[in-house]
Amino acid sequence: SKLPIRLLELRFPSAEVGLPEGCENADALPAPELGKNFFTATSMLQQQFEQSLGEMEPIPCCIISDFCLPWTAETARKFDIPRIIFHGMGSFSLLCSLNILRYKVHDSVASGSESYKVQDSVVSGSESDSEPVIVPGLPDEYQKAKQNKAWCIGPVSLFNKETLDIFERGNKASVAENECVKWLDARQPSSVIYVCLGSLCRLVPAQIKEIGLGLEG
């Protein structure tokens, strides 16, 4: 497109919040309890960003910021620039989070281990008859619930048809793929439970052991 693109580098204040020098993303945190320090560091970027913004000519006409950087709302008001929030998550999870807060579902639960009813019927399906589900109306439902504009991208999962590229994302596993397949092949059908704790979740061995004991029980 030959548009003039300028890249602006901000110094990430790792040392100021007790993080190792060069630790500039959540995946590089040496311990999960340092997550608070990391987000404190991201909030400290505001002063650098505003200083650079004030020196730009012409001044940018829009700010697109990650939802983990809420301070950009204050910056946008200060410079009278429109701001758009970028969410990397899908509309389904965003709609769920919005409705949980709006209808205060969590207020009816006394503890995190308490069981409670979420629907009148149960959706069930076996491995053989279950298919991926895409609900086209979810972005519209999210926009109506949010009561403001939302520009949705995707579903990006349908963009790349190359299976190898889809699976080769993120950090490499510490266990070889063929060893995992060999272990799975040795198990009985429908006897393995796959547990995903998220891309930023790091557990100490004691926590992993407790999860295993809970699944066995």
What pLDDT does residue 209 have?
A: 86
Exposed (0-12), middle (13-18) or buried (19+): which is 26, by Cβ within 10 Å? Answer: middle
CA–CA gap between residue 148 and residue 60 (Å, rounded): 23
pLDDT in tens, 80-101: 999 999 988 888 888 888 888 8
193, 215 contact by CB (below 8 A): yes
What pLDDT does residue 50 have?
A: 96
Residue 148, CB-side half-sphere exposure with 13 Å CA sphere: 3
Q: How many CB atoms lie within 10 A of CB 135?
A: 11
Query: In the chain, what percentage of residues exceed pLDDT 90?
Result: 31
Exposed (0-12), middle (13-18) or buried (19+): which is 61, by Cβ within 10 Å? Answer: exposed
What pLDDT does residue 71 have?
A: 96
CA–CA gap between residue 103 and residue 105 (Å, rounded): 6
Residue with the larger pLDDT of the pair 98 and 131: 98
**SS3 assignment for the chain:** CCCCCCCCCCCCCCHHHCCCCCCCCHHHCCCHHHHHHHHHHHHCHHHHHHHHHHHCCCCCCCEEEECCCCCHHHHHHHHCCCEEEECCCCHHHHHHHHHHHHCCHHHHCCCCCCCCCCCCCCCCCCCCCCCCCCCCCHHHHHHHHHCCCCCCCCCHHHCCCCHHHHHCCCCCCCCCHHHHHHHHHCCCCCCCCCCCCCCCCCCCHHHHHHHHHHHHC
Average pLDDT of 57-81?
94
Poorest-confidence range of 7-11, 53-57, 151-155, 177-181?
Answer: 151-155
Average pLDDT of 177-191?
90
pLDDT in tens, 20-58: 988 998 888 888 889 899 999 999 999 999 999 999 988
